[in-house]
Amino acid sequence: MSRHATITGIGLVTPLGTTVEGFWKSLCEGRSALSAPDGRGGPLLEVAGLAPPIAPLDLLPPKGAVSVDRFVLLAVAAAESALADAGIVVGRDVDPDRVAVIVSSAGGGMATYEEQALGFDARGRVAVSPYLLPGMMMNQAAARIAIRFGVRGLSTAISSACAGGGQAVGEALRLLRADEADVVVCGGTEAPFASTTVAGFANAGTLAHGWADPAEASRPFDARRNGLVLSEGAGMLVLERAAHADSRWAAGYADVLGWGATTDAHHPTMPRPDGAGAAACMRRALADAGVPAGAVGYLNAHATGTRLGDLAEARAVRDVFPGTGPAVSSTKGVTGHLLGAAGAVEAAATALALGTGTLPPTANLEDPDPGCALDHVRGAARPAAVEYALSNSFAFGGHNVSVVLGRPETRKVRSAD
Protein backbone atom coordinates (compact mmCIF):
# COMPACT_ATOMS: atom_id res chain seq x y z
CA MET A 1 0.00 0.00 0.00
CA SER A 2 1.31 3.43 -0.94
CA ARG A 3 2.42 5.69 1.90
CA HIS A 4 1.26 8.71 -0.08
CA ALA A 5 -2.09 10.45 -0.11
CA THR A 6 -3.42 12.35 -3.11
CA ILE A 7 -5.20 15.70 -2.91
CA THR A 8 -8.22 15.31 -5.21
CA GLY A 9 -10.32 18.20 -3.95
CA ILE A 10 -9.70 21.73 -2.70
CA GLY A 11 -12.33 23.93 -1.07
CA LEU A 12 -11.58 27.51 -0.05
CA VAL A 13 -13.46 30.33 1.60
CA THR A 14 -10.81 32.99 2.18
CA PRO A 15 -10.28 36.74 1.79
CA LEU A 16 -9.22 35.89 -1.78
CA GLY A 17 -12.65 34.45 -2.55
CA THR A 18 -14.29 31.06 -2.83
CA THR A 19 -12.86 29.55 -6.01
CA VAL A 20 -9.56 27.77 -6.52
CA GLU A 21 -8.99 29.65 -9.75
CA GLY A 22 -9.59 33.09 -8.23
CA PHE A 23 -7.50 32.29 -5.17
CA TRP A 24 -4.56 31.12 -7.27
CA LYS A 25 -4.74 34.04 -9.70
CA SER A 26 -4.69 36.54 -6.82
CA LEU A 27 -1.78 34.77 -5.14
CA CYS A 28 0.31 34.74 -8.29
CA GLU A 29 -0.45 38.40 -9.00
CA GLY A 30 0.33 39.38 -5.42
CA ARG A 31 -3.07 41.05 -5.19
CA SER A 32 -3.88 41.78 -1.55
CA ALA A 33 -7.27 40.95 -0.07
CA LEU A 34 -6.64 42.88 3.14
CA SER A 35 -8.85 45.81 4.01
CA ALA A 36 -10.16 48.04 6.76
CA PRO A 37 -12.36 46.01 9.15
CA ASP A 38 -16.12 45.92 8.77
CA GLY A 39 -16.96 46.79 12.37
CA ARG A 40 -16.27 43.40 13.87
CA GLY A 41 -13.33 43.04 16.21
CA GLY A 42 -13.61 46.40 17.92
CA PRO A 43 -11.54 49.59 17.61
CA LEU A 44 -8.15 47.91 18.03
CA LEU A 45 -8.46 46.07 14.73
CA GLU A 46 -6.87 48.33 12.10
CA VAL A 47 -6.72 45.89 9.18
CA ALA A 48 -8.24 42.47 8.51
CA GLY A 49 -8.68 39.73 5.96
CA LEU A 50 -12.43 39.33 5.48
CA ALA A 51 -13.93 36.26 3.82
CA PRO A 52 -17.08 36.55 1.68
CA PRO A 53 -20.49 36.29 3.35
CA ILE A 54 -21.92 32.80 3.83
CA ALA A 55 -25.67 32.14 3.55
CA PRO A 56 -26.36 29.81 6.53
CA LEU A 57 -29.58 28.39 5.09
CA ASP A 58 -27.68 27.17 2.03
CA LEU A 59 -25.66 24.87 4.29
CA LEU A 60 -27.70 23.93 7.36
CA PRO A 61 -31.34 23.45 8.38
CA PRO A 62 -33.02 26.52 9.91
CA LYS A 63 -32.33 25.71 13.57
CA GLY A 64 -28.74 24.82 12.87
CA ALA A 65 -28.25 27.84 10.65
CA VAL A 66 -29.13 30.35 13.33
CA SER A 67 -27.26 28.67 16.16
CA VAL A 68 -23.73 28.09 14.86
CA ASP A 69 -20.71 30.33 14.93
CA ARG A 70 -19.27 31.63 11.68
CA PHE A 71 -16.23 29.35 11.97
CA VAL A 72 -18.58 26.38 11.47
CA LEU A 73 -20.28 27.91 8.44
CA LEU A 74 -16.94 28.65 6.82
CA ALA A 75 -15.82 25.04 7.35
CA VAL A 76 -19.00 23.48 5.98
CA ALA A 77 -18.91 25.74 2.91
CA ALA A 78 -15.27 24.86 2.22
CA ALA A 79 -15.91 21.14 2.74
CA GLU A 80 -18.84 21.26 0.32
CA SER A 81 -16.61 22.86 -2.31
CA ALA A 82 -13.80 20.39 -1.69
CA LEU A 83 -16.04 17.33 -2.06
CA ALA A 84 -17.61 18.78 -5.20
CA ASP A 85 -14.15 19.54 -6.58
CA ALA A 86 -13.12 15.94 -5.91
CA GLY A 87 -16.29 14.62 -7.53
CA ILE A 88 -17.20 12.66 -4.40
CA VAL A 89 -20.68 11.97 -3.09
CA VAL A 90 -20.42 10.11 0.20
CA GLY A 91 -22.41 6.88 -0.07
CA ARG A 92 -22.16 6.81 -3.86
CA ASP A 93 -18.42 7.06 -4.46
CA VAL A 94 -17.15 5.93 -1.08
CA ASP A 95 -18.48 3.95 1.90
CA PRO A 96 -19.59 6.46 4.59
CA ASP A 97 -17.84 4.33 7.23
CA ARG A 98 -14.57 4.76 5.31
CA VAL A 99 -14.65 8.57 5.29
CA ALA A 100 -13.13 10.73 8.04
CA VAL A 101 -13.22 14.44 8.87
CA ILE A 102 -10.40 16.31 10.64
CA VAL A 103 -10.79 20.06 11.18
CA SER A 104 -8.53 22.53 12.98
CA SER A 105 -9.45 25.79 14.64
CA ALA A 106 -7.35 27.87 16.99
CA GLY A 107 -10.26 29.49 18.77
CA GLY A 108 -13.54 27.91 17.70
CA GLY A 109 -16.64 29.98 18.35
CA MET A 110 -14.96 32.96 19.98
CA ALA A 111 -17.42 35.57 18.72
CA THR A 112 -20.46 33.50 19.72
CA TYR A 113 -19.10 32.91 23.22
CA GLU A 114 -18.31 36.60 23.65
CA GLU A 115 -21.78 37.63 22.53
CA GLN A 116 -23.47 35.15 24.86
CA ALA A 117 -21.23 36.09 27.79
CA LEU A 118 -22.10 39.76 27.38
CA GLY A 119 -25.77 38.85 27.31
CA PHE A 120 -25.40 36.77 30.46
CA ASP A 121 -23.64 39.63 32.25
CA ALA A 122 -26.43 42.04 31.25
CA ARG A 123 -29.57 39.90 31.67
CA GLY A 124 -28.60 36.66 33.31
CA ARG A 125 -29.50 33.09 32.34
CA VAL A 126 -32.41 34.00 30.08
CA ALA A 127 -30.03 35.66 27.64
CA VAL A 128 -28.05 32.47 26.97
CA SER A 129 -29.13 30.39 23.98
CA PRO A 130 -29.81 26.68 24.56
CA TYR A 131 -27.86 26.19 21.34
CA LEU A 132 -24.71 27.87 22.70
CA LEU A 133 -22.62 24.72 23.12
CA PRO A 134 -23.43 23.05 19.77
CA GLY A 135 -22.98 26.44 18.18
CA MET A 136 -19.48 27.29 19.39
CA MET A 137 -17.64 24.18 20.63
CA MET A 138 -14.39 23.37 18.80
CA ASN A 139 -15.62 20.01 17.52
CA GLN A 140 -18.66 21.43 15.81
CA ALA A 141 -17.02 22.20 12.46
CA ALA A 142 -16.08 18.53 12.01
CA ALA A 143 -19.39 17.35 13.45
CA ARG A 144 -21.51 19.53 11.16
CA ILE A 145 -19.51 18.43 8.11
CA ALA A 146 -20.07 14.81 9.08
CA ILE A 147 -23.80 15.38 9.59
CA ARG A 148 -24.29 17.30 6.35
CA PHE A 149 -22.46 14.82 4.15
CA GLY A 150 -23.29 11.58 5.95
CA VAL A 151 -19.76 10.77 7.10
CA ARG A 152 -19.71 7.90 9.62
CA GLY A 153 -15.97 7.41 10.13
CA LEU A 154 -13.80 9.39 12.52
CA SER A 155 -14.62 13.08 12.89
CA THR A 156 -12.44 15.12 15.18
CA ALA A 157 -11.03 18.54 15.97
CA ILE A 158 -7.38 19.59 16.06
CA SER A 159 -6.33 22.43 18.34
CA SER A 160 -2.64 23.19 17.97
CA ALA A 161 -3.22 26.88 17.28
CA CYS A 162 -1.71 28.11 14.01
CA ALA A 163 -0.07 24.75 13.30
CA GLY A 164 -3.46 23.01 13.34
CA GLY A 165 -4.31 23.23 9.64
CA GLY A 166 -1.04 21.56 8.72
CA GLN A 167 -1.49 18.97 11.46
CA ALA A 168 -4.96 18.11 10.13
CA VAL A 169 -3.36 17.26 6.77
CA GLY A 170 -0.69 15.18 8.47
CA GLU A 171 -3.21 13.29 10.59
CA ALA A 172 -5.25 12.59 7.46
CA LEU A 173 -2.16 11.02 5.89
CA ARG A 174 -1.71 8.93 9.03
CA LEU A 175 -5.29 7.59 8.79
CA LEU A 176 -4.90 6.66 5.13
CA ARG A 177 -1.57 4.92 5.74
CA ALA A 178 -3.16 2.90 8.54
CA ASP A 179 -6.01 1.86 6.20
CA GLU A 180 -8.54 3.37 8.60
CA ALA A 181 -10.17 5.43 5.85
CA ASP A 182 -10.36 5.65 2.07
CA VAL A 183 -11.13 9.38 1.98
CA VAL A 184 -10.38 12.11 4.53
CA VAL A 185 -11.80 15.63 4.46
CA CYS A 186 -9.25 17.71 6.34
CA GLY A 187 -8.31 21.31 6.93
CA GLY A 188 -8.97 24.28 9.14
CA THR A 189 -11.36 27.12 9.80
CA GLU A 190 -11.24 30.38 11.72
CA ALA A 191 -13.48 33.35 12.53
CA PRO A 192 -11.37 35.30 15.04
CA PHE A 193 -12.99 38.74 15.09
CA ALA A 194 -14.24 38.75 18.68
CA SER A 195 -13.34 42.04 20.34
CA THR A 196 -11.78 40.33 23.35
CA THR A 197 -9.61 38.14 21.12
CA VAL A 198 -8.46 41.12 19.07
CA ALA A 199 -7.62 43.00 22.27
CA GLY A 200 -5.52 40.06 23.41
CA PHE A 201 -3.54 40.03 20.17
CA ALA A 202 -3.17 43.81 20.23
CA ASN A 203 -2.01 43.94 23.86
CA ALA A 204 0.53 41.21 23.13
CA GLY A 205 1.99 43.48 20.43
CA THR A 206 1.48 40.98 17.62
CA LEU A 207 -0.87 42.91 15.29
CA ALA A 208 0.32 44.97 12.33
CA HIS A 209 -0.36 48.65 12.98
CA GLY A 210 0.08 52.13 11.61
CA TRP A 211 -0.41 51.33 7.91
CA ALA A 212 -2.42 53.87 5.92
CA ASP A 213 -2.97 51.32 3.17
CA PRO A 214 -4.27 48.00 4.57
CA ALA A 215 -2.80 46.17 1.56
CA GLU A 216 0.70 47.03 2.83
CA ALA A 217 0.24 45.82 6.41
CA SER A 218 1.20 42.15 6.07
CA ARG A 219 4.92 42.01 5.22
CA PRO A 220 6.51 38.57 5.72
CA PHE A 221 10.33 38.74 5.92
CA ASP A 222 10.35 42.48 5.16
CA ALA A 223 12.52 44.83 7.22
CA ARG A 224 9.51 47.07 7.95
CA ARG A 225 7.20 44.31 9.17
CA ASN A 226 5.57 45.04 12.51
CA GLY A 227 3.03 42.30 13.09
CA LEU A 228 0.50 39.92 11.62
CA VAL A 229 -2.91 40.65 10.12
CA LEU A 230 -5.82 38.64 11.48
CA SER A 231 -7.95 36.96 8.82
CA GLU A 232 -10.95 34.67 8.69
CA GLY A 233 -11.66 31.79 6.37
CA ALA A 234 -11.46 28.05 5.83
CA GLY A 235 -9.47 25.67 3.69
CA MET A 236 -10.48 22.03 3.23
CA LEU A 237 -8.73 19.29 1.27
CA VAL A 238 -9.97 15.89 0.15
CA LEU A 239 -7.22 13.30 0.55
CA GLU A 240 -7.33 9.72 -0.70
CA ARG A 241 -4.89 7.06 -1.76
CA ALA A 242 -3.89 7.23 -5.41
CA ALA A 243 -5.30 3.73 -6.01
CA HIS A 244 -8.68 4.82 -4.67
CA ALA A 245 -8.64 7.96 -6.80
CA ASP A 246 -7.68 5.89 -9.85
CA SER A 247 -10.55 3.49 -9.21
CA ARG A 248 -12.98 6.32 -9.88
CA TRP A 249 -10.74 7.99 -12.48
CA ALA A 250 -10.19 11.07 -10.31
CA ALA A 251 -7.37 13.53 -10.90
CA GLY A 252 -4.86 14.56 -8.25
CA TYR A 253 -3.49 18.04 -7.61
CA ALA A 254 -0.49 16.76 -5.66
CA ASP A 255 0.52 14.00 -3.26
CA VAL A 256 1.08 14.44 0.46
CA LEU A 257 4.27 12.43 0.89
CA GLY A 258 5.09 12.87 4.55
CA TRP A 259 4.91 15.14 7.55
CA GLY A 260 6.65 15.97 10.78
CA ALA A 261 5.71 17.56 14.08
CA THR A 262 7.83 18.83 16.97
CA THR A 263 7.47 21.14 19.96
CA ASP A 264 9.89 23.90 20.87
CA ALA A 265 9.34 23.44 24.64
CA HIS A 266 10.57 27.01 24.95
CA HIS A 267 7.87 29.65 25.59
CA PRO A 268 4.04 29.97 25.50
CA THR A 269 4.12 32.41 22.57
CA MET A 270 7.67 33.01 21.30
CA PRO A 271 9.54 30.59 19.04
CA ARG A 272 13.02 29.35 19.84
CA PRO A 273 15.24 32.15 18.47
CA ASP A 274 17.60 29.66 16.81
CA GLY A 275 14.74 27.91 15.01
CA ALA A 276 15.94 24.52 16.26
CA GLY A 277 12.44 23.13 16.80
CA ALA A 278 11.30 24.19 13.35
CA ALA A 279 14.45 22.75 11.77
CA ALA A 280 13.91 19.42 13.53
CA CYS A 281 10.33 19.41 12.31
CA MET A 282 11.32 19.95 8.67
CA ARG A 283 13.95 17.21 8.89
CA ARG A 284 11.41 14.83 10.38
CA ALA A 285 8.95 15.57 7.57
CA LEU A 286 11.57 15.02 4.87
CA ALA A 287 12.65 11.74 6.48
CA ASP A 288 9.03 10.57 6.68
CA ALA A 289 8.55 11.41 2.99
CA GLY A 290 11.87 9.86 1.94
CA VAL A 291 12.83 13.11 0.19
CA PRO A 292 16.36 14.56 0.52
CA ALA A 293 16.52 18.24 1.46
CA GLY A 294 18.36 19.09 -1.74
CA ALA A 295 15.42 17.82 -3.84
CA VAL A 296 12.95 20.36 -2.44
CA GLY A 297 12.39 23.14 -4.95
CA TYR A 298 9.82 25.28 -3.13
CA LEU A 299 8.96 26.08 0.48
CA ASN A 300 5.75 27.80 1.49
CA ALA A 301 6.81 29.53 4.69
CA HIS A 302 4.68 30.07 7.74
CA ALA A 303 6.11 33.62 7.93
CA THR A 304 3.43 35.83 9.46
CA GLY A 305 5.22 39.18 9.45
CA THR A 306 6.21 39.15 13.13
CA ARG A 307 9.78 40.12 14.02
CA LEU A 308 10.76 37.01 15.97
CA GLY A 309 8.77 34.43 14.06
CA ASP A 310 10.13 35.27 10.62
CA LEU A 311 13.72 35.39 11.90
CA ALA A 312 13.45 32.01 13.62
CA GLU A 313 11.93 30.35 10.55
CA ALA A 314 14.57 31.80 8.22
CA ARG A 315 17.32 30.48 10.49
CA ALA A 316 15.67 27.06 10.52
CA VAL A 317 15.38 26.97 6.71
CA ARG A 318 19.04 27.88 6.29
CA ASP A 319 19.98 25.15 8.77
CA VAL A 320 18.03 22.42 6.96
CA PHE A 321 18.65 23.18 3.30
CA PRO A 322 22.04 23.18 1.59
CA GLY A 323 23.43 26.05 -0.47
CA THR A 324 20.90 28.67 -1.44
CA GLY A 325 18.08 26.28 -0.55
CA PRO A 326 14.63 26.15 -2.12
CA ALA A 327 12.68 29.10 -3.43
CA VAL A 328 10.65 30.52 -0.53
CA SER A 329 7.47 32.54 -0.32
CA SER A 330 4.72 33.30 2.16
CA THR A 331 1.14 33.70 1.01
CA LYS A 332 0.24 35.74 4.10
CA GLY A 333 1.27 38.94 2.38
CA VAL A 334 -2.07 38.86 0.55
CA THR A 335 -4.23 36.60 2.74
CA GLY A 336 -3.19 37.70 6.21
CA HIS A 337 -3.01 35.05 8.92
CA LEU A 338 -5.90 32.58 9.06
CA LEU A 339 -4.62 31.04 12.31
CA GLY A 340 -5.90 27.45 12.53
CA ALA A 341 -6.92 27.48 8.87
CA ALA A 342 -3.61 28.82 7.58
CA GLY A 343 -1.78 25.50 7.22
CA ALA A 344 -4.53 23.93 5.13
CA VAL A 345 -4.92 26.96 2.88
CA GLU A 346 -1.16 27.09 2.39
CA ALA A 347 -0.95 23.34 1.70
CA ALA A 348 -3.47 23.98 -1.07
CA ALA A 349 -1.30 26.80 -2.41
CA THR A 350 1.74 24.53 -2.31
CA ALA A 351 -0.12 21.84 -4.23
CA LEU A 352 -1.13 24.38 -6.87
CA ALA A 353 2.46 25.60 -7.17
CA LEU A 354 3.55 22.03 -7.94
CA GLY A 355 0.77 21.49 -10.44
CA THR A 356 1.13 24.76 -12.33
CA GLY A 357 4.91 25.09 -12.25
CA THR A 358 4.45 28.61 -10.83
CA LEU A 359 5.67 29.84 -7.47
CA PRO A 360 3.61 32.68 -5.96
CA PRO A 361 5.51 35.72 -4.66
CA THR A 362 5.62 37.13 -1.15
CA ALA A 363 3.68 40.38 -1.36
CA ASN A 364 5.14 43.53 0.25
CA LEU A 365 8.62 42.02 0.46
CA GLU A 366 10.27 45.24 -0.70
CA ASP A 367 13.29 45.37 1.59
CA PRO A 368 14.17 41.87 2.86
CA ASP A 369 15.43 41.74 6.42
CA PRO A 370 19.11 40.66 6.21
CA GLY A 371 18.43 38.24 9.05
CA CYS A 372 15.81 36.55 6.87
CA ALA A 373 18.10 36.01 3.88
CA LEU A 374 16.66 33.23 1.70
CA ASP A 375 15.89 32.63 -1.99
CA HIS A 376 12.76 34.75 -1.78
CA VAL A 377 10.18 34.79 -4.56
CA ARG A 378 9.23 38.45 -4.67
CA GLY A 379 8.03 41.07 -7.09
CA ALA A 380 6.40 38.55 -9.41
CA ALA A 381 5.54 34.87 -9.61
CA ARG A 382 8.42 32.63 -10.66
CA PRO A 383 8.05 29.86 -13.27
CA ALA A 384 9.67 26.69 -11.92
CA ALA A 385 9.18 22.99 -12.55
CA VAL A 386 9.30 21.68 -8.98
CA GLU A 387 9.16 17.99 -8.02
CA TYR A 388 8.93 18.40 -4.24
CA ALA A 389 7.73 21.17 -1.97
CA LEU A 390 7.29 21.78 1.73
CA SER A 391 4.65 23.73 3.66
CA ASN A 392 5.41 25.01 7.17
CA SER A 393 2.98 25.79 10.00
CA PHE A 394 4.16 27.04 13.39
CA ALA A 395 2.22 28.22 16.42
CA PHE A 396 1.98 29.73 19.88
CA GLY A 397 3.00 27.07 22.36
CA GLY A 398 5.89 25.99 20.19
CA HIS A 399 3.91 23.66 17.93
CA ASN A 400 5.71 22.97 14.63
CA VAL A 401 4.30 21.09 11.64
CA SER A 402 5.79 20.58 8.18
CA VAL A 403 4.13 18.78 5.29
CA VAL A 404 6.00 17.48 2.21
CA LEU A 405 4.18 17.43 -1.12
CA GLY A 406 5.10 16.06 -4.53
CA ARG A 407 3.65 15.57 -7.96
CA PRO A 408 0.63 13.23 -7.91
CA GLU A 409 0.79 9.49 -8.57
CA THR A 410 -2.72 9.38 -10.00
CA ARG A 411 -3.21 8.53 -13.65
CA LYS A 412 -4.89 11.90 -14.13
CA VAL A 413 -3.51 15.20 -12.85
CA ARG A 414 -5.01 18.65 -12.53
CA SER A 415 -4.13 22.20 -11.59
CA ALA A 416 -5.84 25.52 -10.98
CA ASP A 417 -5.91 26.24 -14.72
Active site residues: 162, 302, 337
| Nearest to 190, CA basis, from 106, 309, 103 | 106
Give 272's DSSP letter. Answer: P
At 107 the three-state DSSP class reads coil
Answer for the pair 374, 314: CB distance below 8 angstroms, yes or no. yes
Q: What is the largest CA-CA distance in the chain?
A: 64
CA 219 from centre of chain: 18
Q: How many CB atoms lie under 10 A from the CB of residue 362? A: 27
> Is residue 382 helix, strand or coil?
strand
Cα–chain-centroid distance for residue 124? 37
* Nearest alpha carbon to residue 52 among 28, 77, 72: 77
Query: How many degrees, rounded to 5, is the angle at CA 219 between CA 217 and CA 221?
Result: 160
CB 87 within 8 A of CB 196: no
List CB contacts of 92: < 8 A, sequence separation 6 or more: none
3-state SS, residue 393: strand
- The residues, ordered by sequence, that sit 6+ positions from 112 with a Cβ below 8 Å of its Cβ are 68, 69, 132, 135, 136
Cα 102 to Cα 168: distance, rounded to the nearest angstrom: 6
Residue 220 in contact with residue 333, Cβ under 8 Å?
A: yes
What's the rounded Cα separation, in Å, for the pair 214 and 49?
9
